[in-house]
Structure 1
Amino acid sequence: MKDPGLNAEADRSERRAVAAQKDGMREVAQLQDARADRLRAQAGNQSLGDVIASTLVNLFLGGSTKSLERNR
């Protein structure tokens, strides 16, 4: 299952990497790019148990409607 929150954070990290590269900060760009890769790997490796647990927490906190709309 994909985690949209982690994917969004990975997108932001990639944008920071591009900006750092343009500013000549190669090391920062490499760190941000590695972070984006790590976040994407985490987002793609979410187990069914993680999804169920997250759904139950959302239901408990009353945020299930927002998360369901966001995932559509």
Structure 2
Amino acid sequence: MEQKIRKKKKALVSAQECVACGCCIKVCPRNAIEIWKGIMAKIHMEKCIGCGKCATECPGSVILLQEVQP
């Protein structure tokens, strides 16, 4: 039987569009997000588990989940 390999995902912020509202910070279960210099959200990749809660909560839809190499 062939097993499907589940690809890992991480959250990425569109820096040009983020308005640093902080909604993503409130829902991140790993505290992987901070507001950087008061201008945009910054994801700490080593903490991000790719759950997608931040992307769902973002009112501007500027956070996307992207597959990363294992």
Task: Answer 1 or 2: which has greater strand percent.
Answer: 2
TM-score (norm 2): 0.26
Task: Answer 1 or 2: which has greater helix percent.
Answer: 1
Higher-Rg member (1/2): 1
TM-score (norm 1): 0.25
